[in-house]
Amino acid sequence: MVVSRTTTESKEPVSSTFGSRYVRTALPKYEIGESSIPKDAAYQIIKDELMLDGNPRLNLASFVTTWMEPECDKLIMDTINKNYVDMDEYPVTTEFQNRCVNMIARLFNAPLGDTQTAMGVGTVGSSEAIMLAGLAFKRNWQNKRKAEGKPYDKPNIVTGANVQVVWEKFARYFEVELKEVKLSEGYYVMDPEKAVEMVDENTICVAAMLGSTLTGEFEDVKRLNDLLVKKNEETGWNTPIHVDAASGGFIAPFIYPELEWDFRLPLVKSINVSGHKYGLVYAGVGWVVWRTQHDLPDELIFHINYLGADQPTFTLNFSKGSSQIIAQYYQFIRLGFEGYKNVMENCRENMLVLKEGLEKTERFNIVSKDVGVPLVAFSLKGQSFHSEFEISEMLRRFGWIVPAYTMPADAQHITVLRVVIREDFSRTLAERLVGDILKVLHELDTLPSKISRKMGAEDFGNVKGKKVEREKLTDVIVGWRKYVMDRKTMNGVC
């Protein structure tokens, strides 16, 4: 028998990561450590801490895709090391983007012939897409004003108060006044009549939402177009429309094909859509397409040649991954029109199931509409000393992330909960959610108001006074919101 002896130069015993010193040693959090650690230990430490994150598929606050087929996951990993901006190095990836742009433009009924190429670009979500579209409108308006010898230093955009925060970012970053149409109770989208009244000679565009973030409702782009056509004829301003179809752009063509909101309307000059929402791709990819090449000023397009060949580029950033663009192309050829239609119809059916379940509780008012993005926005009925914020907080114990929020001006006294129905939200999950909401309601019914237990009367007003019912409810909502905000701490990271 041969007797052998093994030796190792490592001072660490041969054991699992959990048997090593790395699980009992605090690692630096805000500075780089002095020494390396084994790869398996680094992986396990990070993976363990990530367990404390929420489950993406139970995050009903988000419109962003949280599931894709394993084949597409593999394609993403196969191409994750490709930098999209290297068009000369990766010509096939560039071609895939061009194909996607043309597919989307034709889906939105762009006036293109069989051999014509669409004008558009892939972006890092709809935020960048809106910035690019806004810059194009601003430059076109400035060029027109200069040619007429008129001032061009006070551009504005007309929107509803329900727009996503990116519009406020664009206005602030690029010095454009944002003129918002206020909301009202029961009407939570932009009123076309009020919007057109706010248009003046300095308006670079009117931005309409195909799928409000607050309620999922589609704004009446057709009505807006018709009113604006009439005003343009009277004034000679030729004010255009941009459609923010971040959420609804991959829904309306498949289940509401008769709805006129896109390039079928003559004043719609550009449209953005999020591939990472109902385009069914992981974050983050977006798209912006223009009606014609003339709607995108040439001076905004840059040409570079230091990556191998002349490359036109119109983006806010430079480098970005190719994998999401390839994933979008996969979904287009994998699903086709039929596949997208089936997914969107399923989302709508599951939305109706959830809505019906909530209505049967007789505890909620449904704020959202049946036609629009498949989501359910709902609020508590009548007077209650518990709030939507408490329901949101207690649902987290079941794993659900359901946001509660107040409406913008002038409907800020309305508080709602919102559940977004995505591709991977099944009927079984919808029924389970209703059951968990009933459990939360039952528990709240047995408890005193959380506000009265956590705060003094001075923090939310004397609700025992002789106030009308709405004033009482408003005091409770404001008080609870203050309580929630007071609990939040900032970590110094923006």
At 28-74, the pLDDT tens digits run 889 998 889 999 999 999 999 999 999 999 999 999 999 999 999 99
Same domain, 287 and 429: no
Residue 478 has pLDDT above 50, yes or no: yes
Boundary of a domain, candidates 334, 363, 382: 334
SS3 244: strand
In this predicted model, what pLDDT tens digit does every residue of 207-247 receive, in sequence order?
999 999 999 999 999 999 999 999 999 999 999 999 999 99
* Long-range Cβ contact pairs of 98-105 (< 8 A, separation 24 or more): 99/329, 99/332, 100/275, 100/287, 100/325, 100/328, 100/329, 100/332, 101/287, 101/289, 103/332, 104/249, 104/273, 104/287, 104/289, 105/263, 105/289
The pLDDT tens digits of the residues spanning 325-345 come to 999 999 999 999 999 999 999
- The pLDDT of residue 226: 98
pLDDT at 1: 55
Write down the pLDDT at residue 485.
55
Reported as a single tens digit per residue, the pLDDT across 446-465 is: 887 655 555 444 444 444 44
- pLDDT score of 262: 98
pLDDT tens readout for residues 340-391: 999 999 999 999 999 999 999 999 999 999 999 999 999 999 866 789 999 9
pLDDT, one tens digit per residue, over 157-187 is 999 999 999 999 999 999 999 999 999 989 9
pTM: 0.87
Beta carbons within 8 Å of 321's beta carbon, 6+ residues apart: 79, 80, 82, 83, 84
Residue 149, Ramachandran bin (φ over 0: left; ψ between -120 and 50: alpha; else beta): left
Alpha-helix runs per DSSP H in 174-257: 192-198, 221-235, 252-255
Q: Is residue 60 part of a domain?
A: no
Q: Identify the domain containing residue 236 by its residue range.
A: 76-334
Specify the CATH number for the domain of residue 429: 3.90.1150.160
Q: How many domains does the chain have?
A: 2
Residue 111 belongs to some domain of the structure = yes
Q: Is residue 196 in a domain? A: yes
Q: Do β-strands 415-420 and 404-406 pair in parallel, antiparallel, or remain unpaired? A: antiparallel
Residues with Cβ within 8 Å of 188's Cβ and at least 6 positions away in sequence, in order, are: 162, 212, 214, 215, 217, 367, 407, 411
Chain mean position to CA 12: 47
Kindly state whether residues 216 and 132 are assigned to the same domain: yes
**Nearest to residue 418, comparing CAs of 383, 378, 447, 445?**
378
| 304 and 400 share one domain | no
Would residue 127 count as lying in a domain?
yes
397-422: average pLDDT: 94
Of 279, 310, 334, which residue is a domain's last? Answer: 334
- The answer on 223 and 306 residing in a single domain is yes
The answer to the question of residue 368 being in a domain is yes
Q: What is the reported pLDDT for 457?
A: 43
- What is the CATH classification number for the domain harbouring 275? 3.40.640.10
Q: Are residues 140 and 210 in the same domain?
A: yes
- For the chain, give the number of residues: 494
Using the predicted structure, report yes or no on whether residue 249 has a pLDDT greater than 60.
yes
Same domain, 185 and 276: yes
Three-state DSSP string of 467-480: CCHHHHHHHHHHHH
Helix (H) or strand (E) holding 426: none
Do 302 and 364 lie in one domain? The reply is: no
Do the domain assignments include residue 404?
yes
Cβ(252)–Cβ(218) below 8 Å: yes
Domain membership flag for residue 220 = yes
Q: Which helix (H) or strand (E) covers residue 322, if one does?
A: none
Give kind and range of the element (H or E) at residue 343. Answer: helix 323-360
The reply to whether 84 falls in a domain is yes
Tell me the mean pLDDT in the region 101-120.
95
- In the predicted model, what is the mean pLDDT of the chain? 88
Same domain membership, residue 379 and residue 315 = no
C-beta separation of 245 from 213 below 8 A: no
Same domain, 284 and 179: yes
Same domain, 330 and 357: no
Q: What is the pLDDT of residues 297-312, one digit of tens each?
A: 999 988 766 555 556 7
Mean pLDDT to the nearest integer, 69-92:
90
Q: Could you tell me if 211 and 312 lie in one domain?
A: yes
238 and 99 assigned to the same domain: yes
Strands 177-181 and 156-160, bridge-based pairing: parallel
Of the residues 299, 334, 369, which one is the last residue of a structural domain?
334
